[in-house]
């Protein structure tokens, strides 16, 4: 009888997906202490917490650059490549642009067969093709844990760039993917999540935000970002702070991937859930009726999550119709309150 030699990539790593990001408080502490050099052509860098840097090309257009990579949350190399590519490209969509070209970043253990690397690259190349771009090169190093991602470039007219600032009072806040990926994949690693529910989480992660961006292109998007490792509350807080406003999230309007709430109730929570709350917990307030599992889900990291858009109520309704059930209003923008975020 042949031995089962299937490789379980997720069992080779301590953390996975966007949950593997450095705790935001630690990152901020480092960034605040390093030299900052101004460049008049650099319209947006890391200090603005946007999804990509914005570099003025001087001809009415700007260059967008982003990079993202992480360890695997699934065992299949091809699927991992798809998810990592979709996640990295999403930062360009969150800025309102079409990606142009990408380069890959691969950390690969010498103990794995090269066929695994090939499958990861094949998945990423096919997902990039779906986005309309090529992966034109990259860099590979030997590492004890596998990691993969992309650096992505785009070009867009200067006045058409979306940023995470600019929310206007009475705007509707729209989200384009269900929440719960972080909790589901944490329980999957522990062998507890149901196969069907995990399949839905994987389907969400491998889905490009291409349609989500294109459907809003002719609308007046006041602010935008995507929901990834910093959680819904973290990314909402960044939008509120950058806009000088506050955001009210309606917990009854939130949608979660099947199984996520039950697993959160059982305590299957990613580590990032706690580091996120440590960093932005003081900027968030909850109504008394909000249960702990819901708080857990809202602080938990997402991987390759949906776009979060701030639009007028009329534009939000148009957008939701275009998205055919793949987007939903989760709250509204209000004047500046004591806290950035209120969950009711």
Active-site amino acid positions: 18
Q: Using only C-alpha atoms, what is the Rg of the chain?
A: 19
In angstroms, rounded to a whole number, what is the distance separating the alpha carbons of residues 232 and 61?
A: 30
Q: Vertex 50, ends 320 and 53: CA angle to 5°?
A: 120
Largest Cα separation within the chain, whole Å, is 68
Q: Which residue has the tokens 């006041």?
A: 222
In sequence order, which residues have a C-beta less than 8 Å from that of residue 7 and are 6 or more positions away? 75, 77, 112, 113, 116
For every residue of 57-90, DSSP letters joined together read -SSSEEEEEEEEEE--SSS-HHHHHHHHHHHHHH
Cβ within 8 Å of residue 321, ≥6 positions away: none
Cα–Cα distance, 103 to 92 (Å, whole number): 14
Look at strands 307-311 and 99-108 and give their pairing. Answer: unpaired
Nearest alpha carbon to residue 66 among 95, 103, 91: 91
DSSP for 139-167, please give it. EEEE-SS-EEEEEEEEEEEGGG---S---
3 state DSSP class of 225? strand
């Amino acid at each position: 009888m042949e031995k089962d030699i299937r490789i379980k990539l997720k069992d080779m790593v301590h953390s996975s997906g966007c949950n593997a990001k450095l705790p935001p408080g630690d990152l901020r502490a480092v960034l605040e202490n390093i030299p900052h050099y101004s460049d008049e052509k650099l319209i947006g860098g890391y200090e603005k917490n946007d999804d990509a840097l914005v570099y003025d090309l001087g001809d009415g257009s700007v260059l967008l650059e982003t990079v993202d990579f992480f360890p695997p949350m699934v065992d299949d190399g091809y699927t991992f490549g798809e998810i990592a590519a979709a996640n990295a490209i999403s930062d360009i969509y969150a800025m309102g642009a079409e990606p142009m070209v990408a380069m890959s970043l691969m950390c690969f253990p010498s103990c794995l067969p090269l066929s695994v690397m090939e499958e990861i690259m094949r998945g990423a190349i096919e997902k990039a093709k779906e986005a309309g771009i090529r992966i034109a090169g990259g860099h590979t190093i030997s590492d004890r844990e596998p990691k993969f991602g992309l650096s992505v470039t785009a070009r867009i007219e200067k006045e058409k760039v979306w940023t995470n600032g600019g929310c206007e009072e009475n705007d509707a806040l729209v989200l384009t993917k269900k929440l719960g990926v972080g909790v589901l994949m944490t329980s999957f690693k522990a062998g507890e999540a149901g196969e069907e529910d995990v399949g839905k989480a994987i389907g969400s992660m491998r889905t490009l935000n291409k349609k989500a961006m294109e459907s809003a292109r002719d609308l007046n998007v006041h602010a935008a970002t995507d929901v990834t490792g910093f959680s819904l509350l973290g990314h909402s807080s960044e939008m509120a702070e950058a806009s000088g406003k506050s955001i009210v999230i309606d917990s009854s309007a939130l949608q979660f991937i099947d199984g996520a709430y039950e697993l959160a109730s059982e305590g299957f929570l990613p580590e990032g859930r706690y580091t996120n709350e440590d960093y932005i917990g003081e900027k968030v307030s909850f109504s008394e009726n909000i249960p702990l599992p819901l708080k857990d889900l809202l602080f938990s990291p997402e991987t390759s999550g949906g776009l979060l858009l701030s639009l007028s109520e009329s534009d939000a309704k148009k957008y939701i119709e275009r998205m055919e059930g793949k987007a939903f209003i989760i709250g509204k923008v209000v004047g500046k309150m004591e806290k950035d975020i209120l969950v009711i």
